[in-house]
Amino acid sequence: MGELLARQLRRSIRLPALAAAALYGLWEHRKLPRDASRAECAEWLHQSCARGLSAINVHLASTGALPSHGLIVCNHLSYLDILVMSAVLPCVFVSNAEVEQWPIIGRYARWAGSVFVRRHDQADAARANASVAESLQIGVPVVLFPEGATTDGQSVLRFHSTMLQPAVDAGVQVTPCSIRYELDDGAVEREVCWWGDMALLPHVLNLLAKKTIRATIAFGKPMPATGDRQQLSQTLHGQVLHLHQQLRSSGKAGPVDSAAAPLRSE
């Protein structure tokens, strides 16, 4: 009974705190110039996501050097991945087109300069690739989840190579990385990872009741995007899988190290 009340209390505190952080971020966007660059929008999202994670008690840590440009490829576990990755460094995301229609999140994604991709629509790939190429050329890191779907974190799905082409064409660096979550009072694969036919709202409300959520991002060694994109995709998959396995076998994530993953204040 005591734990049930504690869960309800945590949820009742964090839900309005998260809403306040989200609304404050939308208000802060008004300060950006009308013709704000993608770099400025990425910095706005970076600050907003850091506040959002603080509101729901997510402790964030990272290993490896933070990439300052190029393409970042990562496994995909949850809607939290966007907040976690953006809180670590200002970046632009490649996202499924349906995210654009989500309440609040969709507006954040649009205002942050996300590249929306219609899955299984080959005709849309050229437009999306051109938008990714534009971000890469101006030096804003672009985050891609090449599995194309979220998972329970037990493995890393095969990578789709289509969105790697802009990086190959531009000859930029590609950085593999992997995300891992931990809970003290629940099952990560069901209560943090969001996949399959899980309903979003019940999942979020349950997540808000957790004591502490620990997230770790492991960045690998950057590599040049050269040659055939299919071969590059296989190489990157191997690198991400290796990082994924390392995280699964490592100890618990600690609180964020300001030297490794700075969450910059206003």
Residues 29-35, mean pLDDT to the nearest whole number: 92
pLDDT tens-digit map of 86-95:
999 999 999 8
pLDDT digits over 150-203, tens only?
Answer: 999 999 999 999 889 999 999 999 999 999 999 999 999 999 999 999 999 999
Q: Which residue has the higher pLDDT, 208 or 34?
A: 208
256 has pLDDT over 50: no
In this prediction, residue 95 carries a pLDDT of 87
Cα torsion through 233, 235, 241, 244, rounded to 10: -90
pTM above 0.75, yes or no: yes
Instruction: Give the pLDDT band (50/70/90) at residue 1.
Output: low
Q: What pLDDT is recorded for position 143?
A: 96
What 3-12 contacts at long range (C-beta under 8 Å, 24+ apart), as own/partner pairs, is 7/209, 8/209, 10/57, 10/208, 10/209, 10/210, 10/211, 11/205, 11/208, 11/209
pLDDT at 11 over 80: yes
Q: Is the pLDDT of residue 120 over 80?
A: no
CB within 8 Å of 11: residues ≥ 6 apart: 205, 208, 209
